[in-house]
Structure formats: structure tokens, C-alpha cells
Amino acid sequence: MIKMNTICIIGLGYVGLPLACLCAEKGYNVLGLDLDKDIVEKTNHGISHIKDDVLEKKLGKLKGKIIASDNPDCLKEADIVIVCVPTPAIGSKPDLNPLENASKTVAKFLQKGQLVIIESTIYPGTVEEIVKPILESSGLKAGEDFFLGHCPERIDPGNKEFPIEKIPRVLACLSVEGTEKARKFYVSIIDAKINVLKSVKSAEAVKVVENTFRDVNIAFVNELAKSFDKMGIDLTEVIKGASTKPFGYMPFYPGPGVGGHCIAQDPYYLIDRAEKAGFEHKFLRLARKINEGMPEYVVSLVENALKAISKVENANIAVLGLSYKPDVDDIRQSPAIKIISMLEGKGMKLRIFDPFVKEKSNVKTLKEAVKNADLVILVTHHSEFIKSLTADFLKSNGVGMVLDLRNSLDKQSIIERGVLYNGIGR
Ligand code: SAJ
């Protein structure tokens, strides 16, 4: 039995850091490799560079158990190398540079018997067409001298119900032996089911399909919001009604657009690869277009709201929320950023507040943001916003109107207190 107890994780971000903690908790020797010296430094001092209370606690307890470095030499010690580097999209094009660079680094130190797993989100064919040739430039052969496969990450930042160890996984390697080694490893760290698939391409397709599924369904309700705004139908009530069907329906909710490092770009990995194979995903592209067009729709809602309160000029406007989803500090591809730049581009002066993104807020408290605001725009429905933004709070702070882009406030009581209210699709 070849020893498989030293893991090297390349990329200590939203995916690699929780994985490193989990492997350390399960008794593996864990090496972390990251280009960012600050991340290396913090990790070695048991400090999380990501704001997440669970991760911060774990890292503190595991101080010294994860040896982080920016020197790829450490790869030589590893039995298993797990690549968790970003796979972003630049516009609508996948950007595999970080993955290619990481693969070149692995190739330089590749050892016989090593198992290399890509966890980053990639398009079907990436392992065989991109990673494998780079690793085999070492002279070692995949499936014989080393093992190579894919186990897509499924981290859901901030989700306490599904921490990494509770999330089922799919995996496949290029060889049966590699798949068995990978399966044994993941079974040893994950408490949920490890699903072995027949091909690496299937494993690659699973991740982009599950996230594209979300993108098209969000686009569906975003388009409904625009149509129901015109027809004066309350979409939230319609979604609630449709959700009473115990089968065949799954609720999604309209909003200011799709942010984050997964849903906003994973569809492009599928669209782009299919296009290279000669298939045009018109529907998936349209869904992306609808979601990317939501910030613009929001700006039209803001302009209509200002007209409704006859404050087209010099209105006091509060924008609440910068992160892409509630209760996280991540602003990557956040629609809030696009909305703010468009509103400021129209000369509007904004008071911006997000308790999770204080460094980009321009006021210090929620009260300071909303005090005597003609218009309060709720962009990210952080739990503390939903709790604080009651009808009394809004009224007593002299708010003229609320534009609730997440349909998450109590519309009825706000209107009854004499504060104007608009939602999105309600
Ligand atoms: N959004 C809507 N309406 C919805 C759901 C989401 O507008 O009904 C928006 C969110 O506000 C956000 C964006 O879409 O801006 C993405 O939201 P998300 O809930 O999909 O959250 P993410 O981007 O963190 O997605 C992650 C994904 N996890 C991985 O890729 C490993 C996704 O697969 C998970 O399903 C998702 O978390 C989740 O369920 O929370």
C-alpha cells in the first residue's frame, strides 16, 4: 500500500483553504502552495485571509498543522496534489492561465506515483486536452507513472448547513487505478457520498451543468420580474404559489443580477467549449445576457422611483449592500458594483453601506446611510438589513421610498407607515 498521507493543495482561496483545514483535521500532512506571500504568512500563523467565522476558528486551532509556502519545492513531498486555483472568465471567455501555470509548476516537480486532482471548475476536456500534456512534458505518463483526474469543488461560501465535509462529490480519473486512489482519499475526508463517474469529461461537465442550471433559472425569474412589473403581478406571490407544488418545481428569486465567482462565469466554460465543438448554446447565452442586463434594469427602476417622488435632481440616495449575496464579504462580479458605477455615472450622489465590505462603504452605519434618504435601494439582503429595515425604522429615519431589489422587506407594513415601496417584479 503506497503511503498517501501528504497532501499539497495549490491555491489557498475559497476552495483550497477549507480543503486544507479538512485534510489537516483528518490527520493528513498538509502543505499549502500559494503565490500570495500574505496568504502564506497568515495561514502559517493560523489566520484566515477569508472572512468566515468557521474558517477563522479552524485555522486558529490548526496553526502549525498546515505548512504554507510560496516555494513549489514542497510539491516533491506530496503523495496527492490538489489544484484549487481560480478559473475565471474574461468577459465571456474562459481564462485557464492560472490552471496552466499551476500545471506547469506541478510538472516541474512531478513524482512517480503521485495523484494529481484538479478541483477548479473547468470545461469538459480540460484535463485531457490541457492539463495532461503539460504534466506529461515531465516525461512521466498519466495513468502509468502518475494519476490524474477531476473532482469539481462544490464549496458554498458561508453555507453553515453544508460545510465542505457534508457535500457529496463526483470524481473520475483517467485510469481505474487513479480513480480508486482518488475515491479512497475523498472517502477519508468527506462524510457524504463520493460518486465515481465513468469519465473525466462527465465529471467536468457536472459542475458547469449544475451552475448553468442555476444561471438559466435565475434568468427565467429575472425576465418574469420585468414582465410582471409591466403587468402589475406580484412575482413573489406567484413563486410562493408555484412552490406549493410538491414536485416538478424549484423556486428561484429575481434580483439585481448574478454575481460571484461561479454562476456568473461557469456557463461560459460550457458555451465556449461547445462552440469549439461546433454547437452554439443560444439559450445559455441569452440567459447570461438577461442576468448581465439586470443592473441596467435596476437603473431604470431607480430613475422611475426618483420621478415618482419628484426628486430627479439632488436626491439623497442610500445603496445598501455591495457583496454578491447575503452575509458574505465577496464582491466578485457583484451587481451592486455595476449598479453603483452606473448611478454615479448619471451624477447621483450615493451613500453606500455594507457591513461585510466596510472598506468600500462611504458611511459607517446603516442609520447614517438611510437617515433622511429620499430613496433607499436594497441590493444585498444581508440578514441584519432584513432585521433592521422595518417600517418603523424607515419612517422614523425620514425615508421617502424603498426600492427592494430582493423583495425581502415587509412591503405591506412599509406602505401602511406611509413610506413608498417598489420591489422587483412586485
Ligand atoms: N441569485 C439570484 N436568485 C436566486 C439565486 C441566486 O439572483 O434565486 C443570485 C445571487 O444573489 C448571487 C448569484 O445569483 O448574486 C449566485 O448566487 P448562488 O446562490 O448561486 O451562490 P454562489 O454563486 O455562491 O453559488 C454557489 C455555487 N457553489 C459552487 O459552485 C460550488 C452553487 O453551485 C451553489 O448551488 C450555490 O452556491 C448555493 O446554492 O448557494
The answer to whether residues 389 and 402 touch, using CB atoms and an 8 Å cutoff, is: yes
Q: What is the pLDDT of residues 206-247, one digit of tens each?
A: 999 999 999 999 999 999 999 999 999 999 999 999 999 999
Res 2: pLDDT: 53
Please name which of 11, 31, 24 lies closest in space to residue 121, comparing C-alpha atoms.
11
Asked if 333 contacts 264 with a C-beta cutoff of 8 angstroms, the reply is: yes
Cα(176)–Cα(183) distance, rounded to whole angstroms?
Answer: 10
Asked if 87 contacts 96 with a C-beta cutoff of 8 angstroms, the reply is: yes
Contact 382, 361 (CB under 8 A): no
Atom of ligand 1 nearest to the CA of 153: 31
Owner of C-alpha cell 447570461: 288
Spatial distance between the Cα atoms of 45 and 122, rounded to a whole number of angstroms: 32
The answer, yes or no, to whether any atom of ligand 1 lies below 6 A from the CB of 262, is yes
Of 156, 265, 408, the one to substitute when testing ligand 1's pocket (max ligand atoms within 8 A of C-beta) is 156
- Cα 233 to Cα 68, 126, 239, 290, 413: the distances in Å are 54, 45, 11, 20, 19
How large is the greatest C-alpha to C-alpha distance in the chain, in angstroms? 76
Rg over CA atoms, the chain: 24
C-alpha cell at position 6? 501528504
* Cβ–Cβ under 8 Å, residues 182 and 4: no
Q: For residue 124, give Cα distances in angstroms to 82, 96, 225.
A: 18, 13, 33
In short, whether 211's Cβ falls inside 6 Å of ligand 1 is yes
Give residue 199 CA to ligand 1 midpoint distance, Å. 27
Instruction: Give the atom of ligand 1 at the shortest distance from the alpha carbon of 152.
Output: 31
Q: Which residues contact 71 (CB under 8 A, 6 or more apart)?
A: 33
Q: What is the CA(110)–ligand 1 centre distance, in A?
A: 36
Q: Between the CA atoms of 307, 309, 315 and 316, what dihedral angle is there, to the nearest 10 degrees?
A: -140
Catalytic residue check, 262: yes
Distance of CA 163 to the CA centre of its chain: 14
pLDDT tens track for 104-134: 999 999 999 999 999 999 999 999 999 999 9
Give the Cα separation of 378 and 403 in Å (integer).
6
Residue to substitute in 263, 338, 404, 405 for testing ligand 1 pocket (most ligand atoms within 8 angstroms of CB): 263
Is residue 165 within a helix (H) or strand (E), and if so which, with residue range? none
**What mean pLDDT comes out for the span 262-281?**
97
How long a stretch of residues is the chain?
Answer: 426
Q: Which of 21, 262, 325, 411 is catalytic?
A: 262
As a whole number, the mean pLDDT across the chain is 96
pLDDT of residue 312: 79
Q: CB–CB of 38/107 below 8 Å?
A: no
CA distance from start to end of the chain = 62
pTM flag (> 0.85): yes
What is the pLDDT at residue 3?
65
For 55-90, what is each residue's pLDDT tens digit?
999 999 999 999 999 999 999 999 999 999 999 999
For helices 200-231 and 294-308, angle between their N-to-C axes, nearest 10 degrees = 20
Neighbouring-strand partners of residue 173: 149
pLDDT digits (tens, 9 = 90+) for 380-406: 999 999 999 999 999 999 999 999 999
Which of 42, 58, 181, 207 is an active site residue? 207
Confidence of residue 157 (pLDDT cuts 50, 70, 90): confident
Which amino acid is residue 21, in one-letter code?
C
d(CA 323, CA 389): 18
Please work out whether the CB of residue 252 comes within 6 Å of at least one atom of ligand 1.
yes
Beta bridge partners of 29: 6
Q: Which atom of ligand 1 is nearest to the CA of 334?
A: 15
CA dist., res. 357 & res. 378, Å (int): 15
Kindly report the number of other CB atoms within 10 A of residue 231's CB atom: 9
Q: Is the CB of 155 under 6 A from ligand 1?
A: yes
